[in-house]
Amino acid sequence: MPKVNPDILSWARRTAGLTPEEAAEKLKLRPARGVSAVDRLEALEVGDDMPTRPMLEKMAKQYRRPLLTFYLSAEPRRGDRGQDFRSLPEGHVASDEAILDALIRDIRARQSMVRAVLEDEEEAAPLSFVGSKEMADGVPSVLSSIRETLPVDLLEFRSQPSSLKAFGLLRGGVEAAGVFVLLRGNLGSYHTAIGLQAFRGFALADPVAPFVVINDQDSQTAWSFTLLHELSHVWLGQTGVSGEGADLAIERFCNDVAGEFLLPTKDIKEFLIDEDADMEVIEHEITEFARERNLSSSMVAYRLYRVGAIDQGMWRRLSNAFRNKWLEERRKQRERTRDEEAGPDPNVVRAHRLGDGLLELVGRMMNAGALTTSKAGMLLGVKGKQVQAVLDAGGHGGTR
């Protein structure tokens, strides 16, 4: 068996966001021969002891790294996130950053596979809109191009029975244009859930297989805005991660494109707010205005701020109030879900998170013999034996 570079062990633990104490606990190391669990881990990381194969497999799982990583001769370069469009607050959770890196690596691998299969089947036609615009072109130019490309009518969006249905309509238009849209907020379990401070969404711009990933830990009413925000990055040809903050110029730009798409300036200016009114009254009026248009209340408040209808202080107070209400509603929903005897079909949930774009491609390529079951499983993030069930749940089963 090849020798393991101890520096890799230390690097893998650190980039997983774990202290020696946390890692020793996760690896279930125990004191032995008078040596503490942490000291045993340190001995492995400095080369005084060699890890067994079972220990390496535990590390691969807990550090979220492929097993082969531990046989590299040197530390790999940090995975490229592209540009970081976020302004992280003090005290943000370091482990979220490690999980986010793992998620981006996973999506990049899927993107590479999608591009490869499209190239093999001679379907790798470049999408003209990827990287077609610059910030210097201005919000109206980017917005006009997106509207021309997406077959989505705003009135139809607003007429949907729920914000989730409205998002589905928008997502369908984006996927029809050639962008793969995934809902992912963890690495497959709630233990690896990534907070919104780490990311709300990220875009992997590629002329053949652009991907947008939305953090599904966020409110469903916010998904449409995030999708359009990330789509703006694709139009600008930018790969990178977006968070909660909107302090950077590029983030304000993409927010304005998304906001103008969903709630044009002429519409928001017709919504008059009396800043001297009771705060609860203002919150209620915004909530009702947002609900009627399948938008998030926070997004409406942000648009009011951007068009000058309210000041920054009012916007921040409203944002905090709406966020706190959503967190409370989410807590109650989780309690109701725990009390229910059975949840939704896991395959239906997986299919929804993967999106029709990816499911349709996988189903079609499998039927054409261009994709094996094992590779299809890698693209969908499931075991090979689950592929057909996920495709069936998403309505893309095709012939068997």
Q: For residue 1, tell me if it sits in a domain.
A: no
Whether residue 25 has pLDDT greater than 60: yes
In a domain, 76, yes or no: no
The answer to whether residues 171 and 212 belong to one domain is yes
- Comparing 1 with 137, the larger pLDDT belongs to 137
Position 369 pLDDT exceeds 60: yes
pLDDT band at 186 (very low <50, low <70, confident <90, very high): confident
- Asked if residue 193 belongs to a domain, the reply is yes
Please indicate, yes or no, whether residues 35 and 142 belong to a single structural domain of this protein: no
| Structure tokens given for 102 | 């793992």
pLDDT-derived band at 155, boundaries 50, 70, 90 = very high
pLDDT number for residue 255: 94
**Does 36 lie in the same domain as 108?**
no
- Number of helices and strands (H, E) in the chain? 17, 5
What is the rounded CA–CA span in Å between residue 177 and residue 151?
8
**Contact indicator for 194, 106 with CB cutoff of 8 Å:** no
Q: Which two tokens stand for residue 224?
A: 């449409």
**CA 60/CA 65 separation, integer angstroms:** 5
Whether residue 91 has pLDDT greater than 70 = no
For residue 117, pLDDT over 70 is answered with: yes
Domain limits for position 26: 6-71
Please check whether residues 166 and 270 belong to one and the same domain.
yes
Task: Provide the pLDDT for residue 69.
Answer: 72
If 0-12 CB within 10 Å is exposed, 13-18 middle and 19+ buried, where does residue 24 land? buried
Distance of CA 38 to the CA centre of its chain: 34
Percentage of the chain modeled with pLDDT above 90? 64
Choosing from 71, 95, 126, the residue where a domain stops is 71
Instruction: Report yes or no on 79 lying in a domain.
Output: no
> For residue 400, is pLDDT > 60?
no
Q: pLDDT averaged over the chain? A: 89
Q: What is the DSSP letter of 35?
A: B
Q: Do residue 334 and residue 359 come from a single domain?
A: no
Q: What is the pLDDT of residues 199-242, one digit of tens each?
A: 899 999 999 999 999 999 899 999 999 999 999 999 999 998 88
Instruction: Indicate whether 263 and 386 sit together in one domain.
Output: no
Q: Looking at the structure, tell me whether residues 329 and 350 fall in a common domain.
A: no
Domain assignment present for 155: yes
Mean pLDDT of 63-88: 70
Query: Which carries the bigger pLDDT value, residue 248 or residue 290?
Result: 290
Contacts of 78 (CB under 8 A, 6+ apart): 15, 101
H helix intervals, 73-159: 94-120, 139-149, 154-158
Q: Of 71, 98, 121, which one is at a domain's C-terminal end?
A: 71
Whether 177 and 257 map to the same domain: the answer is yes
Domain termination residue (choose one: 300, 316, 339)? 339
What's the CA gap between 194 and 181, in Å, rounded?
18
Within-domain flag for 108: yes
What CATH code is carried by the domain that includes residue 47?
1.10.260
Model pLDDT for residues 316-343, shown as the tens digit of each residue: 999 999 999 998 988 888 777 666 656 6
pLDDT digits (tens, 9 = 90+) for 32-57: 888 999 999 999 999 999 999 899 98
Total number of domains in the chain: 3
Tokens representing residue 354 in the block: 């993967």
Q: What is the pLDDT of residue 61?
A: 86
- pLDDT tier for residue 4 given thresholds of 50, 70 and 90: confident
Q: Is the C-alpha dihedral spanning 225, 230, 235, 236 positive or negative?
A: positive
Distance (Å, rounded) from C-alpha 303 to C-alpha 261?
A: 11
Residues with Cβ within 8 Å of residue 179, at least 6 apart in sequence:
127, 210, 211, 212, 231, 234, 357
Same domain, 239 and 376: no
CB atoms within 10 A of CB 398: 15
Closest by Cα among 117, 113, 132, 127 to 207: 127
Same domain flag for 56 and 200: no
Any domain includes 30: yes
Asked if pLDDT for residue 278 goes beyond 80, the answer is: yes
State whether 221 and 115 are in the same domain.
yes
Same domain, 325 and 353: no
User: Helices 346-367 and 373-380 sit at what angle, rounded to 10 degrees?
Assistant: 140
Whole-model pTM over 0.85: no
> Is 207 within a domain?
yes
